[in-house]
Structure 1
Amino acid sequence: MDIAAPAPTFRDATAADVDTLVELIESAYRGDSSRTGWTTEADILEGRRTDPEGVLAVVEAPDSRMLAVEQDGRVVACCQLQHRGEHAYFGMFAVSPSLQGGGLGKVIIAEAERIAQETWGVREMHMTVISVRNDLIAWYERRGYRRTGRMTPFPYGDERFGIPRRDDLRFELLVKELG
């Protein structure tokens, strides 16, 4: 992370944050704005990544937390944590494209793991990543996540998850044992 950048602050998102979070998530993954960063999915998916209803459901779910990450008083990143019994699920991770590559993501994922352990006492963090996203999977592997080879189908035909530009998309489960 840039030495001059202020330390991020973390808080639970509220319903008032939903529109900001949707805009952030879309900017990090879809459309031309996402090409500023390295996490873009614009070459494999068109359409939306999420919608206000989906984000609000995460914000309001009793077994879930949506973390809003702020710098200089504005939301610059977010992630979802969901308690799933013995493990927590990590999702909806987005960092503003203009801040990607500076170390903020590493700080966020480490804090998310700490919060999941402290809040729910879980021993593992799970996530799913589109299996053709080799650069992103490699980034998670450098953070201690391992590929499991366990795949689930991409929801072709459900435009809430985007409009695929290829026919080989599926999700791979990545797992990390927490300390």
Structure 2
Amino acid sequence: MVTVTIRPAVEADLPRLHPVVERAYRGESARAGWTHEADLVSGERTNLATLRSLLDGGSRLLIALDGDTILGCVNVADRGDGLAYLGLLCVDPQLQAGGIGKQLVAAAEAAARDGFAATRIEMTVIDRRAKLIAWYLRHGYAASGETRPFPIPLDPPLSMVVLVKQLAG
């Protein structure tokens, strides 16, 4: 497993982070990895303004680095009442399956527990992403039985499966 440095992102990181997110989720470059949405959704995954909004007090945008090179990120947000939300987990497609995602998830869970006093964390995954859902299940997440609509209207529509994990104190 590749050991990386994980730290909170700052605004100066965002122009270098944005292309990593896009490569991981969308377009031809995403197909080099196994966690992409390129076959289901097209267009930009996020933008600098949205990434900037994740730097506020109710959210932590964590980045994985090898020296000065950004390898991936994850966002964890406080939802209140002991609940945190994990999202925007990505690793550069050329580096996926090397343990960086697992390290980012662990850092997000620690940030949720220590920074937001969360006792549980949830995420949503496109229901058609069986391999990715299985990965989260192997890492302690469980299907809640709840589904939510995909945040962007599509034809045909996509649904999101809600996965939840109890965080140890």
Select 2:62's aligned residue among 67, 72, 82.
67
Structure 2's unaligned 5+ residue stretches are: none
Tell me whether 1:170 sits opposite 2:159 in the alignment.
Answer: yes
Q: Please report the TM-score for the alignment, with normalisation by the length of structure 1.
A: 0.88
Spell out the pairing of 1:28-67 with structure 2 (5 A cutoff): 28-59=24-55, 61-67=56-62
SS of residue matched to 2:31? helix
Q: CA deviation at 1:98?
A: 0.9
Work out the CA distance in 2 between the residues paired with 1:94 and 1:74.
14
Higher relative contact order (CA 8 A, sep 6+): 1
Listed as ranges, the matches of 1:90-101 within 5 Å are: 90-101=86-97
How many residue pairs are counted as aligned between the two chains?
Answer: 167
Q: Equivalents in 2 of 1:15, 1:126: separation in Å?
A: 26
SS at match of 2:140: coil
Assess, with a 3 A threshold, how the Cα gap between structure 1 residues 31 and 64 changes in structure 2: closer, same or farther.
Answer: same
How far has the Cα of 1:34 moved from its partner?
Answer: 0.3
Partner of residue 98, structure 2: 102
- Which amino acid counterpart does residue 65 of structure 2 have in structure 1? E
Of residues 24-33 and 65-74 in structure 1, the stretch that sits farther from structure 2 once superposed is 65-74
Q: CA deviation at 1:152?
A: 1.3
Identity of aligned residues (%): 40
Give 5+ residue unaligned stretches, structure 1.
158-163
**Normalised by the size of structure 2, how large is the TM-score?**
0.93
**Partner residue in 2 for 1:115:** 111
Which residue type is aligned with residue 113 of structure 2?
A: Q
Question: Which amino acid in the other structure matches residue 163 of structure 2?
Answer: L
